């Protein structure tokens, strides 16, 4: 895109985030995607249906989301065509989450720095799905840093990438697919078959952004290259391991490892080498995140200048 739409969208998000007053009044656009997924799941993912039927229904659900999100993106582009690139940027802004991610991560940092474990557990529970009630400082810091690294891809780099590549249709299709994956793209029952399409399409759409995220983290904090490459495949996800391993290498700590979900321990492999995560490591991770976001701004500006 010749206009600085992506750069302007990043700037709006950095300044405003998604204001709580606006959320309270109208919600957030991804909420509409979640409601569609929920309605489809209630209708089509019943236990009485065969695995094949649930998988086909899951494919239909994802296709519905893609058509609706892509169609909305095209319609918004046409509406904004006469108004100019600033309006296009405003319509892309809600799909970015750089400020929101920083705010949630910062709340965990502040609680740990204040030695308030109860508050830190509550804050980290807002951004991770694992059990947090008994986590100590290392477990809290590790969970938050993992979320920061992975969400840097999902909430910043991937939306930016698809905005640059495919405009408003691209960024909103990406957000719709990512929302579906977070809700139903699980290997456990009852989602294994119904969520298969959402998980596979999300993997495909994040293939390039995940690797770009790792590159940006390593550029923001030289030192993550060796560990990032060595442990990039240690994660169950084909994409999440890239930014997480890069962040672990940049910080000189271990991430992942055994975690507890719904009372059961999942014996995940460690990602990285070195010591335990702690509050100082979180503060450093936040600085790396800020620098990596700045590189996203430079990338968006460079693409606009070259187009």
pLDDT at 267: 85
Q: What pLDDT was estimated at residue 188?
A: 83
Q: In this predicted structure, what is the pLDDT of residue 280?
A: 96
Rounded-to-integer distance, Cα 120 and Cα 133, Å: 10
Decide if 245 contacts 272 (C-beta within 8 A).
Answer: yes
Mean of pLDDT values over 248-261: 92
Q: pLDDT tens across 4-35, in order?
A: 999 999 999 999 999 888 888 888 999 999 99
Query: Which pLDDT band holds residue 194 (cuts at 50, 70, 90)?
Result: very high
pLDDT of residue 264: 80
Percent pLDDT > 90 in the chain is 81
pLDDT of residue 190: 86
Is residue 1 over pLDDT 60? no
CA–CA distance, 132 with 123 (Å, rounded to integer): 9
Helix intervals (H) in 153-259: 158-184, 196-205, 207-220, 225-230, 241-251
pLDDT at 259: 87
Note the pLDDT of residue 9.
96
Convert the pLDDT of each residue in 265-288 to its tens digit. Answer: 888 899 999 999 999 999 999 999
Kindly list the domain boundaries of the chain, sorted by start residue: 5-306
Confidence of residue 162 (pLDDT cuts 50, 70, 90): very high
Q: What is the pLDDT of residue 187?
A: 85
Q: How confident is the model at residue 298 (pLDDT cuts 50, 70, 90)?
A: very high
Digit-coded pLDDT (tens) for 72-103: 999 999 988 778 889 999 999 999 999 999 99
**Average pLDDT of the chain?**
93
User: What's residue 212's pLDDT?
Assistant: 98
Of 105-114, 235-244, 258-267, where does mean pLDDT reach its minimum? 258-267
Please report the pLDDT score of residue 156 as a whole number. 98
How big is the CA angle at 221 (ends 217 and 222), to the nearest 5 degrees? 105
Closest CA to 176 of 18, 90, 67: 67
Q: Please choose, from the candidates 44, 73, 152, 217, the residue with its C-alpha nearest in 3D space to the C-alpha of residue 161.
A: 152
pTM of the model: 0.95
Helix (H) / strand (E) containing 109: helix 98-113
Q: What is the pLDDT of residues 129-153, one digit of tens each?
A: 888 999 999 999 999 999 999 999 9
Q: In angstroms, rounded to a whole number, what is the distance separating the alpha carbons of residues 61 and 36?
A: 8
What is the pLDDT, as a whole number, of residue 176? Answer: 97
């Amino acid at each position: 895109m010749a206009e600085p739409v992506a750069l302007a969208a990043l700037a709006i998000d950095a300044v405003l985030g998604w204001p709580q007053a606006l959320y309270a009044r109208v919600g957030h656009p991804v909420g509409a995607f979640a409601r569609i997924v929920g309605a489809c799941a209630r209708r089509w993912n019943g236990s009485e249906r065969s695995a094949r039927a649930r998988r086909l229904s899951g494919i239909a659900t994802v296709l519905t989301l893609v058509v609706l999100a892509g169609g909305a993106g095209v319609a918004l582009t046409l509406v904004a065509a006469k108004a100019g690139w600033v309006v296009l940027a405003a319509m892309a802004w809600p799909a970015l989450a750089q400020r929101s991610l920083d705010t949630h991560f910062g709340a965990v940092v502040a609680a740990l720095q204040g030695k308030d474990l109860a508050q830190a557990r509550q804050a980290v529970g807002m951004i991770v799905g694992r059990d947090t009630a008994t986590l100590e400082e290392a477990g809290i810091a590790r969970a938050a840093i993992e979320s920061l690294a992975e969400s840097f891809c999902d909430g910043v780099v991937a939306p930016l990438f698809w905005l640059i590549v495919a405009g408003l249709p691209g960024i909103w299709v990406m957000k719709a697919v990512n929302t579906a994956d977070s809700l139903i793209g699980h290997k456990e029952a009852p989602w294994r078959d119904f969520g298969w399409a959402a998980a596979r399409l999300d993997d495909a759409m994040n293939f390039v952004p995940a690797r770009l995220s790792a590159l940006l983290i390593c550029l923001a904090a030289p030192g993550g290259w060796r560990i990032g490459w060595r442990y990039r495949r240690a994660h169950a996800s084909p994409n999440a391991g890239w930014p997480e391993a890069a962040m672990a290498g940049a910080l000189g700590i271990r991430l992942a490892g055994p975690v507890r979900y719904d009372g059961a321990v999942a014996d995940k492999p460690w990602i990285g080498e070195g010591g335990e995560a702690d509050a100082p490591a979180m503060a450093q991770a936040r600085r790396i995140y800020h620098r990596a976001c700045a590189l996203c701004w430079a990338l968006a500006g460079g693409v606009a200048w070259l187009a």
